Homo-oligomer: A and B are copies of this chain.
Amino acid sequence: MSSVSRVLSDHPDVSPKLRARVLEAVVQLGYEPDYLAQSLRRGATLSVGFVMADISNPLMAEIASGAEAVFQEAGYSMVLMNAHNEERLESSHIRFLTTRRVDGMLLSLSSESSRPTQRLLTRLDVPYVLIERELPPRFQAPSVVSDHRSGIRTAVSELIELGHRRFGLLTGSLDIRSGRERLAGMREALEIHGLDAGDGIAVSIGLSPANGERATEDLLDLPTPPTAIIAGGNQLLVGTLRALAKRNLKVGEDIALVAVDEVPITEFHSPPIAVVARDSTGLGRAAAELLLQRMRGEPSAGTVVLPTTFVWRPSCSPPRVQPVT
């Protein structure tokens, strides 16, 4: 038994003769080692888990692809678990991966303040890395994030220079870093240009087309509606486009529009829609590399920030009626 084990795990202390004999028997019998037993004994599984808030977000898919490539390279398998944006599922997934003894976890949580999840993480003994999320300082949680703040700041600044004075920002939960950063980006742009913070109207809603549609209509119904809308999420964008179509408002003529994240509609819409883009596969790769470092016990960065870029497109035009300045 032990000789077989030695042969199969390339232990040096084994004669060429025995090695050959074992290898032959292995082929003969079609023997396959049991990873479960191996892992139980070794205490390591050579696998990592990735818990994502929502698999149906194409950006998440790209992040996962980026991460998987790095892990594959390093000999690790990555298993994905989808939380459907449900807190309950999320903590159950983390627990599941723990019991399966993954050697590390990548987490893109649907909420940063979920009590069960936080409790779980405080006594989690495998390393983990957050993606586009941040936890309270006491967690000292390493993370990889995009600089949404400067992306939105640039976008809003450009809109201001085009003559816009009133903005509507649709965003997901402010319980998530990216939402907060986008809001901060808009506020910073307003402040830089000496505008009132109240001229940036933020609506924080669940990431669904229906919510996006409703919120957009609400914005348009305001006494002084925004002349530019920033749709912070591709699902919300779909809703916004529906609302605008319903009211017969032409993007880039009657209203300016900026989307977050590069997706097919932004390119193919008429007119094409400006976006604040992030490096999705880069996020995945960076997170995987950071996690590998921590799994090896190497010194590693606390937070990695990746840049975003504002891509101008014709959806960003001057406002219909130039307001008095």
Contacts and interface: CB of A to CB of B under 8 A. Distances in A.
A115 interface: no
A58 interface: yes
Contacts of A40: 34, 36-37, 40
Task: Report the interface size class on chain A.
Answer: 35 or more
A14 interface: no
Contacts of A55: 55, 61, 64-65, 80
A268 B251 CA distance: 12
Interface in A94-132: 95-96, 98-101, 123
A297 interface: no
A68 B80 contact: no
A58 B264 CA distance: 12
A299 interface: no
B64 A82 contact: yes
Interface in A50-80: 55-56, 58, 61-62, 64-65, 68-69, 72, 77-80
A89 B98 CA distance: 25
Contacts of A80: 55, 79-82
A102 to B, nearest CB: 10
Q: Interface majority SS on A: helix, strand, loop or mixed?
A: helix
A76 to B, nearest CB: 10
Nearest to A38: B99
A75 B267 CA distance: 42
Given A80-B82, A84-B68, A33 B99 contact: yes
A20 interface: no
The 6 closest A-B pairs by CB, nearest first: A35-B99, A80-B80, A79-B79, A270-B270, A56-B61, A55-B61
28 contacts: A30-B123, A34-B99, A34-B101, A35-B99, A35-B100, A36-B36, A36-B39, A36-B99, A36-B100, A36-B101, A40-B40, A47-B96, A55-B64, A55-B65, A56-B62, A56-B65, A58-B58, A68-B82, A77-B81, A77-B93, A80-B80, A80-B81, A80-B82, A238-B267, A238-B268, A265-B265, A269-B269, A269-B270
